[in-house]
Amino acid sequence: MLAIFYGGYYYCDFIPVPASLDLATRLAFTLRCLFPAVVVLAFFIVSVGMKRVSTGALNPLGNKEHLVQVHKNILTNTVEQFLVFAVCSLTLATYLETSTEMKLIPLYTVAFVAGRVLFRIGYVISPQYRAFGMHLNFGSTGFVLAKVIYLQLTRGLAGGF
């Protein structure tokens, strides 16, 4: 996971970042980078609905709810992870000042989306196989949380404006 961030940060010059780096541009860029994660979330919502239709578990209060439990667990976990991902991304964007630093936002998005997809694939096969996707999300979020905490401690809450 750190290899993704390190390699992308120093060696991926093809990652598009905005030329102007005022606060509004950084936040707009970050919101655009959140969109692929929203697409994954929407796919997971649709997959719960499709599973309900295909198994006849249309009534959430009925006796067939166990047939969609795995997909509901995946969706619930993804919503929780997305909330942390979005807040971390937007907060980080307020502190980043150079185009090289801004490459962290799309890299974080790639790690999040890949982690969620691998989490889903693994969980559908067997819950024990979800570990790699969980690790990818937990590791990337831990990295970004640590970075934001460091920036808040060193630059303060008003830093980056």
> 142 near 90, Cβ under 8 Å?
no
Which pLDDT belongs to residue 161?
Answer: 60
- 3-state class (DSSP) for residue 154: helix
> 155 near 95, Cβ under 8 Å?
yes
How high is the mean pLDDT of the chain? 88
- Has residue 35 got a pLDDT over 60? yes
Cα gap 161→152, rounded to integer Å: 12
Which pLDDT belongs to residue 115?
Answer: 96
Which pLDDT belongs to residue 16?
Answer: 78
Q: What is the mean pLDDT of residues 39-66?
A: 88
CA 95 vs. chain centroid, Å, equals 19
Greatest extent of the chain over all pairs of C-alpha atoms, in Å: 56
pLDDT band for position 19 (cuts 50, 70, 90): confident
Write out the DSSP string of 69-111.
Answer: HHHHHHHHHHHHHHHHHHHHHHHHHHH--SHHHHTHHHHHHHH
pLDDT band for position 106 (cuts 50, 70, 90): very high
Residue 118: phi, psi to the nearest 5? -65, -35
Cα gap 58→55, rounded to integer Å: 8
Residues 16-24: contacts with CB under 8 Å, at least 24 apart:
16/106, 17/99, 17/102, 17/103, 17/106, 18/99, 18/102, 19/99, 21/96, 21/97, 21/98, 21/99, 21/102, 23/94, 23/160, 23/161
> 102 near 18, Cβ under 8 Å?
yes
